């Protein structure tokens, strides 16, 4: 069953090296702890022995005779004076010691029990269970065996063996030396290893106690020569020096017949050094440190964690043909474009294969050299690669000869040019829109530039953010990127099925000012607005007053809509009145577009904003990605034109309110504080009416929170009465460009109750928040109610309370990001290699089915409408025109049964002056 | 089977319907999906739902295919198949 896989790994077997193998593969035995002699040459049988490989250029390896990059390096070995336990196998050793007999070495199970376990094991193997299940089984076997107090084979009583972390075994208090451990492991017969999950052909348990230590080749631990000429050795070499030194002393002491105590101490020291040679961060022992106090980076540290070999060198790699710099905005670029600085464009190259067809063109390109002199940017050529793979660097001097010598099947590495497809990315890459394909536009200066509408998917701003750019190197990659990753293909997000790319901030304010109410523009103003649009024909003026022609903002907006566009919705400024007046809305919040004419309503966040834009959503679905791109590009230019026509600014004096209003707010706050005092008094007297399911204290808190919440809202309302639609800050808040009405009421009115963990502030001193208040004070001010506004300024206690609330917010975000980051990592690891096959099934790399149909309905969430495959209301609208709404309303009334159908029809005819019902589109 | 089933999980509203496919149906399913048995998702023989099915159909061999019809938010009803494995 190969299923299109040409090569498949049958199995991988991990095993451990026997001391014999260590010695056999060793190029030399290492005996001295010294590395170099006085002349700076490596000492034979030292840690830098030339048999172990070469690191200095020009020298040859004494083992294989190759030069630097050809010699792979060769292992050496250290013969240990006394055996030492390998920390990496400590769990295995413990398992083996506990599950085998201390005297005869047999497994502590009867032959029948063993056979039973073996049978299940065999069965599992046949049924294609994975190794993890087998491992679990052998673990269960071992656990079963270790629970037997008496050996079934020799009837010897078993003693409890405990592991004294990290490497010492104790048998009922008596310490087992590694030598004893090794002897016990040696006694275990081969056939008893199989049920314990060890294959005796490839691994004997006694090999887990080291008798010989392999010494890695010098290429693994190269020494660096500092500028001063001093040699600096690798951490591993340092550690091996320690091992050798103690090994030497241990051998001498043992051979000289030193007291047992000294030998044991040295033995333990050797164990420590070898343990830390594998892993400095072994728990239970102090980490081995450098002279400077920095912990050493030993074998385990090289592999483990984010900076380890796996995650940073194998799963992820550094790449060529990439650039990184600061980003800045350019509202005149298309959303598909990215502005690339000339400096970067000259370094980044695209390989072009030389064919008969492009030969002449490429010759000309090569002739330009690496730095063509030209007023505008001209892409040159940095390298030419011949058929045999040799690279020729193109310089101004050799450009001519290289161009002449250009042949078929050469590859020319030409510099970046306008229109090249590149990938553009901002970390953290949390969703697929964090990496999109853009078209290059080479520009002066030093930043990457892109359209502001593309900020939301990247979550970018321009306060110093940097982004990465990758140049695609093959035609297939370019084609794929263009079809799947280009910005215009990613306008609809699969996250929520709406547009993630759309107007932001000033675009929305601009569109609001352009279309709100009866805005009108004189001819010169209208031309200024339309100047940057591709459309060159002015519509007819909507009115002429005293011989002066005027164009309405709605009319100008209609110009950028695609042909035949219809939509009806309520905009962000909608007040959500109980009964909607539709076209006659006094706030101009009912948007109605018929045949690409904005009949009424204001264009704001709900229309064109990112995340919410209804118009974007509809154009993307009905007209395709090219049309949305054009729409976004033009509508934002128009909006920027509109905002620049009158200018727009905001400052703290936008929140100025009359003294009368300030007095009112003060009064409201005073009353509320009094009310709170009354509640507290009632609570003290015990006459507070208890709420069901709450204690007295909780009741008080709830009531107080409610009163103070109302106070803030009331203050906001009072302030809001004096902040009308002629106020810049209000325009931004209401249209959805930036800020909220709450922000404004906190600036103008009252900041309100501060909270930590959803409760009024109560931490700090004993029974009070600050020493400014009496102990046990439960009043508003003492528990963090801020009566002032940001504008009026906070009193010291209020400021402190506000900081408490603010701190909680900061901590929350910090905790949330780190936690969700890890969650995301685990999720991605689980899902990374799943893909949807042609038949709609989701499968993993082994081709087994994960889901029989993607999402169970096979629908792409970015093409779906709010979870459904299509939007039935929209289809009805399209087929029935404005009649659809009418029918829906009649049906609604019918089912609720409030009025008769006839009466309703009349009413409907009355207020919505039905135009002729267009059966226009509808190929559904 | 040996141990009596105390509670029939299939009667619980949160548990989707399970059916055992006979050999012919099983072959048909595999043909329809164009896959071999080992490419199916797995279900343990010790799974509570399988235990209940054994009460109905008698012993279920390892390698049988179970059909599960469950409610789905996106597709109302969705059919999945699982291969019975030991354990």
Size of interface A-B (CB pairs under 8 A): 47
* Residue A860 within a domain: no
Helical residues (DSSP H) of A686-795, grouped into ranges: 696-721, 728-735, 741-748
Question: Looking at the structure, do residues A638 and A658 belong to the same domain, yes or no?
Answer: no
Q: Are A515 and A598 in contact (CB under 8 A)?
A: yes
Cβ <8 Å between B74 and A859:
yes
Identify the residue among B38, B39, B40 best suited for mutation to test binding to A, counting A beta carbons within 10 A and taking the highest: B39
Contacts of B72 in chain A (CB under 8 A): 856-857
Contacts of A848 in chain B (CB under 8 A): 38-41
Q: Are A437 and A423 in contact (CB under 8 A)?
A: yes
* Residue B78 within a domain: yes
* Residue A263 within a domain: no
Question: Looking at the structure, do residues A690 and A584 belong to the same domain, yes or no?
Answer: no
CATH number, domain with residue B37:
3.90.940.20
Cβ <8 Å between A853 and B72:
no
- CB-nearest to B38 from A128, A843, A857 is A128
Among A585, A555, A565, A557, which Cα is nearest to A573's?
A585
* Residue B3 within a domain: no
> By percentage, how much of chain B surpasses pLDDT 70?
94
Whether residue A870 lies within 8 A of chain B, CB to CB, comes out as no
Question: Looking at the structure, do residues A111 and A192 belong to the same domain, yes or no?
Answer: yes
| 3-state SS, one letter per residue, for A451-516 | CHHHHHHHCCCCCCCEEEEEECCCHHHHHHHHHHHEHHHHCECCCCCCECCCECCHHHHHHHHHHC
Question: Looking at the structure, do residues A663 and A720 belong to the same domain, yes or no?
Answer: yes
Q: Tokens for A134?
A: 């087998």
Question: Looking at the structure, do residues A573 and A706 belong to the same domain, yes or no?
Answer: no
* Residue A317 within a domain: no
Of the candidates A628, A646, A664, which is a domain's last residue? A646
Whether residue A852 lies within 8 A of chain B, CB to CB, comes out as yes
Number of domains in chain A: 5
Contacts of A121 in chain B (CB under 8 A): none
Residue A323 confidence (pLDDT) = 95
Q: Which domain holds residue B48?
A: 16-85
Q: Tokens for A69?
A: 């990059």
Query: Looking at this predicted complex, what is its ipTM?
Result: 0.90
Residue A346 confidence (pLDDT) = 93
Helical residues (DSSP H) of A188-234, grouped into ranges: none
Instruction: Determine the residue of chain A that is closest to B84 in CA distance.
Output: A127
Question: Looking at the structure, do residues A656 and A804 belong to the same domain, yes or no?
Answer: yes
Cβ <8 Å between A847 and B39:
yes
CATH number, domain with residue A721:
1.10.132.30
Question: Looking at the structure, do residues A739 and A630 belong to the same domain, yes or no?
Answer: no
* Residue B55 within a domain: yes
Which parts of chain A have pLDDT scores under 50? 1-2, 897-924
Residue B3 confidence (pLDDT) = 56
Whether residue A124 lies within 8 A of chain B, CB to CB, comes out as yes
User: How open is the CA angle A311-A317-A318, to the nearest 5 degrees?
Assistant: 135
Among A48, A56, A152, A138, which Cα is nearest to A106's?
A152
- CB-nearest to A849 from B40, B62, B85 is B40
Q: Are A859 and A903 in contact (CB under 8 A)?
A: no
- CB-nearest to B86 from A127, A852, A857 is A127
CA distance B16 to B26: 19
- State how far the alpha carbon of A682 is from the alpha carbons of A668, A701, A778, in Å: 21, 13, 12
CATH number, domain with residue A332:
2.40.40.20
Among A794, A715, A793, A701, which Cα is nearest to A755's?
A701
CA distance A761 to A786: 12
* Residue B68 within a domain: yes
Residue identified by tokens 């390698």 is B63
Cβ <8 Å between A849 and B39:
yes
Cβ <8 Å between B33 and A849:
yes
Among A856, A880, A879, A885, which Cα is nearest to A869's?
A856
Identify the residue among B38, B43, B70, B74 best suited for mutation to test binding to A, counting A beta carbons within 10 A and taking the highest: B74
Identify the residue among A129, A856, A863 best suited for mutation to test binding to B, counting B beta carbons within 10 A and taking the highest: A856
Whether residue A120 lies within 8 A of chain B, CB to CB, comes out as no
Dump pLDDT digits (tens) for B51-84: 888 888 888 888 889 999 999 888 889 999 999 9
CA distance A290 to A238: 9
Report DSSP letters for A634-686, one per residue.
HHHHHHHHHHHHH-----GGGG---HHHHHHHHHHHHHHHHHHHHHHHHHHHT
Q: Which domain holds residue A513?
A: 506-646
- Helix, strand, coil shares, percent, chain B, to 5: 30, 30, 40
- State how far the alpha carbon of A23 is from the alpha carbons of A30, A211, A299, in Å: 11, 10, 20
Whether residue A133 lies within 8 A of chain B, CB to CB, comes out as yes
CA distance A850 to chain B (A): 7
Cβ <8 Å between A849 and B41:
yes
- Helix, strand, coil shares, percent, chain A, to 5: 40, 15, 45
Of the candidates A438, A464, A490, which is a domain's last residue? A490
Residue A3 confidence (pLDDT) = 54
Question: Looking at the structure, do residues A555 and A482 belong to the same domain, yes or no?
Answer: no
Question: Looking at the structure, do residues A356 and A423 belong to the same domain, yes or no?
Answer: yes
Number of domains in chain B: 1
* Residue A832 within a domain: no
Cβ <8 Å between B81 and A867:
no
Question: Looking at the structure, do residues A681 and A636 belong to the same domain, yes or no?
Answer: no
Among A418, A421, A392, A415, which Cα is nearest to A405's?
A392
Question: Looking at the structure, do residues A617 and A752 belong to the same domain, yes or no?
Answer: no
**pTM (2 d.p.):** 0.79
Of the candidates A646, A670, A704, which is a domain's last residue? A646
* Residue A664 within a domain: yes
Q: Are A124 and A137 in contact (CB under 8 A)?
A: yes
Question: Looking at the structure, do residues A420 and A437 belong to the same domain, yes or no?
Answer: yes
Cβ <8 Å between B80 and A852:
yes
Half-sphere exposure of A19 (CA within 13 A, CB side): 18
- CB-nearest to A856 from B39, B78, B87 is B78
* Residue A229 within a domain: no
Contacts of B34 in chain A (CB under 8 A): 839
């Amino acid at each position: 069953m190969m299923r299109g896989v040409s090569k498949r790994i049958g199995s991988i077997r991990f095993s451990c090296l026997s001391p014999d193998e260590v010695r056999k593969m060793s190029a030399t035995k290492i005996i001295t702890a010294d590395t170099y002699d006085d002349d700076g040459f490596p000492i034979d049988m030292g840690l830098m022995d030339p048999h172990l490989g070469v690191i200095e250029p020009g020298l040859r390896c004494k083992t294989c005779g190759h030069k630097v990059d050809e010699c792979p390096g060769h292992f050496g070995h250290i013969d240990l004076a006394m055996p030492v336990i390998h920390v990496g196998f400590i769990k295995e050793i413990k398992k083996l010691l506990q599950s085998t007999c201390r005297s005869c070495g047999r497994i502590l199970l009867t032959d029948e029990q063993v056979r039973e376990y073996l049978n299940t094991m065999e069965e599992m193997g046949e049924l294609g269970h994975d190794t993890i299940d087998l491992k679990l089984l052998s673990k269960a076997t071992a656990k079963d065996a270790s629970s037997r107090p008496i050996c079934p084979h020799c009837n010897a009583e078993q003693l409890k063996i405990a592991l004294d972390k990290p490497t010492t075994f104790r048998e009922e208090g008596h310490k087992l030396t590694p030598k004893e451990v090794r002897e016990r492991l040696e006694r275990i017969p081969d056939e008893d290893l199989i049920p314990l999950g060890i294959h005796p052909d490839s691994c004997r348990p006694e090999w887990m106690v080291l008798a010989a230590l392999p010494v890695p080749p010098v290429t693994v631990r190269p020494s660096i020569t500092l500028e001063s000429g001093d040699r600096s050795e690798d951490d591993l070499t340092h550690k091996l020096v320690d091992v050798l030194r103690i090994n030497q002393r241990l051998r001498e002491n043992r051979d000289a017949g030193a007291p047992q105590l000294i030998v044991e101490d040295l033995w333990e020291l050797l164990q420590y050094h070898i343990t830390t040679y594998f892993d400095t961060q072994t728990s239970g022992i102090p980490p081995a440190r450098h002279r400077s106090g920095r912990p050493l980076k030993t074998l385990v540290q090289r592999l483990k964690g984010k900076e380890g070999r796996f995650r940073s060198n194998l799963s992820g790699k550094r790449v060529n043909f990439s650039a990184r710099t600061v980003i800045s905005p350019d509202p005149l670029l298309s959303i598909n474009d990215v502005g690339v600085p000339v400096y970067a464009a000259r370094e980044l190259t695209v390989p072009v294969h030389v064919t008969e067809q492009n030969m002449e063109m490429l010759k000309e390109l090569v002739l330009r050299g690496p730095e063509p002199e030209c007023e505008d940017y001209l892409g040159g050529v940095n390298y030419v690669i011949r058929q045999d793979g040799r690279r020729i660097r193109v310089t101004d001097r050799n450009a001519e000869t290289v161009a002449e010598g250009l042949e078929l099947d050469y590859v020319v590495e030409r510099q970046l040019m306008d229109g090249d497809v590149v990938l553009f990315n901002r970390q953290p890459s949390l969703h697929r829109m964090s990496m999109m394909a853009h078209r290059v536009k080479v520009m002066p200066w030093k930043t990457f530039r892109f359209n502001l509408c593309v900020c939301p998917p990247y979550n970018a701003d321009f306060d110093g953010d940097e982004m990465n750019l990758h140049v695609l190197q093959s035609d297939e990659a370019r084609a794929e990127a263009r079809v799947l990753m280009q910005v215009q293909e990613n306008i609809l997000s699969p996250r929520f099925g709406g547009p993630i790319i759309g107007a932001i901030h000033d675009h929305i304010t601009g569109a609001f000012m352009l279309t709100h109410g009866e805005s009108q523009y004189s001819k010169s103003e209208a031309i200024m607005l339309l100047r940057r649009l591709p459309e060159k024909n002015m519509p007819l003026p909507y009115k002429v007053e005293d011989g002066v022609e005027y164009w309405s903002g709605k009319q100008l907006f209609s110009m950028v809509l695609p042909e035949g566009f219809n939509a009806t919705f309520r905009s962000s400024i909608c007040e959500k009145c109980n009964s909607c007046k539709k076209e006659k809305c006094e706030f101009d919040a009912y948007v109605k577009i018929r045949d690409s004419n904005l009949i009424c309503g204001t264009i704001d966040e709900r229309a064109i904003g990112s995340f919410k834009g209804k118009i974007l959503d509809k154009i993307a679905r009905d007209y395709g990605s090219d049309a949305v791109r054009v729409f976004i590009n033009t509508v934002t230019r128009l909006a920027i034109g509109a905002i620049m026509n009158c200018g727009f600014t905001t400052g703290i004096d936008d929140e100025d309110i009359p003294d009368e209003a300030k007095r009112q707010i003060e009064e409201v706050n005073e009353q509320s504080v009094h009310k709170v005092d009354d509640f507290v008094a009632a609570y003290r007297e015990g006459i507070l009416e208890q709420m069901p399911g709450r204690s007295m204290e909780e009741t008080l808190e709830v009531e107080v929170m409610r009163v103070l919440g109302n106070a803030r809202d009331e203050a906001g309302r009072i302030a809001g009465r004096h902040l009308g639609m002629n106020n810049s800050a209000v325009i931004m808040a209401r249209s959805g460009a930036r800020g909220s009405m709450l922000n404004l009421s906190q600036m103008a009115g009252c900041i309100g109750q501060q909270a930590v963990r959803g409760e009024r502030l109560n931490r700090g001193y004993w029974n009070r928040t600050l020493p400014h208040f009496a102990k046990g004070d439960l009043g508003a001010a003492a528990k963090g109610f801020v009566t002032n506004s940001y504008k009026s300024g906070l009193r010291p206690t209020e400021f402190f309370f506000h900081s408490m609330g603010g701190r909680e917010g900061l901590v929350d975000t910090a905790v949330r990001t780190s936690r969700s980051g890890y969650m995301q990592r685990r999720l991605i690891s689980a899902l990374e290699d799943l893909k949807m096959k042609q038949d709609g099934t989701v499968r993993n790399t082994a081709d087994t089915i994960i889901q029989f149909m993607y999402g169970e309905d096979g629908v792409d969430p970015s093409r779906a409408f709010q979870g459904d495959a299509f939007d039935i209301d929209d289809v009805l609208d399209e087929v029935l025109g404005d009649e659809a709404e009418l029918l829906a309303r009649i049906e609604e009334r019918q089912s609720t049964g409030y009025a008769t159908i006839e009466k309703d029809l009349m009413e409907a005819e009355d207020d919505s002056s039905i135009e002729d019902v267009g059966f226009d589109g509808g190929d559904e | 089977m040996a141990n009596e089933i105390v509670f029939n999980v299939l009667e619980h509203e949160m548990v989707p319907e399970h059916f055992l496919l006979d050999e012919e149906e099983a072959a048909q399913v595999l043909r329809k999906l164009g896959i071999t048995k080992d490419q199916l998702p797995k279900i343990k023989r010790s799974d509570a739902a399988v235990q209940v099915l054994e009460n109905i159909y008698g012993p279920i061999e390892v390698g049988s295919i179970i059909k599960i019809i469950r409610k789905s938010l996106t597709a109302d009803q969705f059919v999945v198949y699982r291969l019975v494995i030991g354990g």
